[in-house]
Amino acid sequence: MFQVRIHGRGGQGVVTAAAILSMAAFAEGRHSQAFPSFGSERMGAPVISFCRIDDRPIRTREPVVEPDALIIQDVTLIHQVDLFAGLSSDGYVLVNTSRTFEELGLGELAHRFQPDRQLSCPATELALEKLGRPLPNAALLGGFAALTSEISIDAIGTAARQRYPGTVGEQNAAAAMAAYEFVSFSRRELDRAATD
């Protein structure tokens, strides 16, 4: 089972991101589950959403405490919440920012994880470019597809179009593709640097 935990703030599409990821996995013939964790908080409050993907039926319903991947939609949460709790050293981390982990004050923490499994992606900027709105969720899912190879970018695009029919779905699919290309390029650069 592959487990994903998504951190963000209310109104940023954190719950929708998990739903789209779950839809994408289902479209590929896999079992999936998505659900949020929040109380009666207002817009802007921290929100966590979870997604599980497996080739077999998923019976568990608990929150994801040991994720295989983290998607961090809002970098302002980094020093407020223990985002990395339960993540193993071979887990994946995708952060919505154009800054490096060192610039975010995560340099020491980042050394615990494999360098090719922790990347930043300017998803909000890509969403503004493709959607005209600062909603990074679909873009981050495109980056997630490139980072983990757990789901295909085609499935993410299909799920985004199902969730948002018409122009908005096409724009979200375009944002996902832009992030997929960005992260794919970043990974190739890391691989090149590692072999030099």
pLDDT in tens, 65-122: 999 999 999 999 988 878 899 998 899 999 999 998 889 888 777 778 887 899 999 9
Q: What is the pLDDT of residue 61?
A: 87
Host H or E run for residue 110: helix 107-110
C-beta neighbour count of 154 within 10 angstroms: 16
Per the CB < 8 A criterion, the answer to whether 65 and 5 are in contact is: no
Q: What is the pLDDT of residue 42?
A: 67
Give residue limits of the domains in the chain: 2-195
Q: What is the pLDDT of residue 116?
A: 83
Q: What is the pLDDT of residue 41?
A: 58
Cα–Cα distance list, 89 to 17, 68, 77, 85 (Å): 24, 10, 21, 11
- Those residues of the chain that have pLDDT short of 50 are none
Tell me the two tokens of residue 42.
């207002």
Domain 2-195 fold is Pyruvate-ferredoxin Oxidoreductase; domain 3 (3.40.920)
Per the CB < 8 A criterion, the answer to whether 48 and 7 are in contact is: yes
Per the CB < 8 A criterion, the answer to whether 143 and 6 are in contact is: no
Beta bridge partners of 93: 70, 118
Distance CA 88, CA 96 (A): 20
Residue whose tokens read 């299909």: 158
Distance CA 55, CA 139 (A): 25
Q: What is the pLDDT of residue 67?
A: 96
Per the CB < 8 A criterion, the answer to whether 183 and 147 are in contact is: yes
